[in-house]
Amino acid sequence: MEKILDIVDAIANEKGLKPEKVKEALKTAFIQTAKRVINPKFAFEAVINSQTKTIDIIQTITVVADGDERLKDEEIAPAYISITEAREYDDQVELDDQLQIPHDLEEYGRTAASQLHREIEYHVQRVVEDEIFNKYKSKIGSLVNGRVTRVDNQNSTYIEIDEIRAVLPMKSRIKGEIFKVGDHLKAVVRRVDMNKENGIQIELSRTSPKFLEELLALEVPEISDGTVIVERSARIPGERAKVALFSTHPQVDAVGATVGVKGVRINAVSQELIGENIDCIEYTTIPELFISRIMSPAIISTVEIVKDENGEAQKAIITLPADQKSKAIGKNGINIRLASMLSGLNIELVESDSITQNNDIQEVKEQKDGVDALQALFS
């Protein structure tokens, strides 16, 4: 156990940790070992001795009055000593002084050595897991690449990403996707959890709108450098997606830059998404104009935003020609669903022909009522 600090840099380099964190892990390991082999109720402190390159174990005892209640509590009593007893060792001590008693773990033989070895392994591994957890926690929503190592009976796909294994559940795969061992794939980090039983668990997704946004940033330099911003996105995975974009530079066309020459950029993203059709829309803060754009390919007449009592928009009433209604709804309702997801509003479609017809009927009714009134007047 001599010169234990000589291994700090070696552990730090091997595990990719900061030396300071390794030192803290070693100090904790020494304290826990002391508690196990000396007395679990003692208050220990681990002190780094830079001269001898060792970690010294110090038992700290606080001096209290002779009748102090803490001396009667079996759980905490070992951390305290009465002033009368303390003055048998040092007649200069006062209340609340702390006596420090050094302990040498080597005096406890092979038991202490083997226990210390286990504690060091355990606490260093906890530091490693914390580092990995924090690393991937900060990557939630970010794109990662990995190699498929296993596909289980529930069709969950396990991917090796650098130093850890992540899982892509069946529900987070695009419909029709089939992976086999050895395949390389991209996904975004959806969730990161850690518990004592299973350690670190990382869940990936290929169905999240964030996956689409990350792929766009990968293919479109203007998005990755912030010239073009993806304001919102919505997907029905494997079918269709809508992306709202705006440019921070007056000379850059957000939609044109994202689509690319002859659609080369957007097609590359679509290919990764198993042929998913992607509509690129120019974002605007004017809700009526924005909704008219996201309803494409339908051509609409008017948009009315309905607000609640707090002034929050909750519904959009869209008036459009009868021959545009099927386009607005889309196949299996995909277009209107995406528009609702992108706008965050419920969307109600009203045919303009029916409005005109209702107005005509009302006008005829009013004319008829007027004629009837005149006839009644002169009869």
Assign 377 a pLDDT band (cuts: 50, 70, 90).
very low
Assign 240 a pLDDT band (cuts: 50, 70, 90).
very high
pLDDT at 242: 97
CATH of the domain at 253: 3.30.300.20
State whether 254 and 226 are in the same domain: yes
State whether 10 and 131 are in the same domain: yes
Domain count, the chain: 3
Reference 281, options 306, 253, 300; nearest CA is: 253
CATH of the domain at 63: 3.30.1480.10
Assign 371 a pLDDT band (cuts: 50, 70, 90).
very low
127 part of a folded domain: yes
State whether 171 and 233 are in the same domain: no
State whether 8 and 130 are in the same domain: yes
Assign 360 a pLDDT band (cuts: 50, 70, 90).
very low
**Can you list the positions of beta strands (E) in 164-286?**
164-168, 184-195, 199-205, 228-236, 240-247, 277-282
For residue 289, pLDDT over 50 is answered with yes
Where among 226, 252, 283 does a domain terminate? 283
324 part of a folded domain: no
Where among 283, 305, 320 does a domain terminate? 283
Assign 295 a pLDDT band (cuts: 50, 70, 90).
very high
363 part of a folded domain: no
Total-model pTM: 0.77
State whether 64 and 165 are in the same domain: no
For residue 251, pLDDT over 60 is answered with yes
Where among 249, 283, 317 does a domain terminate? 283
Name residue 356's amino acid.
T
27 part of a folded domain: yes
Least reliable range by pLDDT among 19-33, 111-125, 347-361: 347-361
pLDDT per residue as tens digits for the range 31-52:
999 999 998 888 899 998 888 8
State whether 231 and 273 are in the same domain: yes
State whether 199 and 227 are in the same domain: no
Reference 46, options 63, 23, 62; nearest CA is: 23
State whether 170 and 250 are in the same domain: no
State whether 193 and 145 are in the same domain: yes
For residue 356, pLDDT over 80 is answered with no
Give one DSSP letter per residue of 13-58, joined into a string: HHHT--HHHHHHHHHHHHHHHHHHHT-TTS-EEEEEETTTTEEEEE
pLDDT per residue as tens digits for the range 221-239:
999 999 999 999 999 999 9
More confident position, 162 or 185: 185
Assign 372 a pLDDT band (cuts: 50, 70, 90).
low
Range of the domain at 273: 208-283
What's 59-118 look like in SS3? EEEEEECCCCHHHHCCCCHHHEEEHHHHCCCCCCCCCCCEEEEEECHHHHHHHHHHHHHH
Chain CA centroid to CA 72, Å: 49
C-beta of residue 287 within 8 angstroms of C-beta of residue 305: yes
Least reliable range by pLDDT among 201-210, 233-242, 283-292, 309-318: 309-318
State whether 71 and 131 are in the same domain: yes
State whether 56 and 159 are in the same domain: no
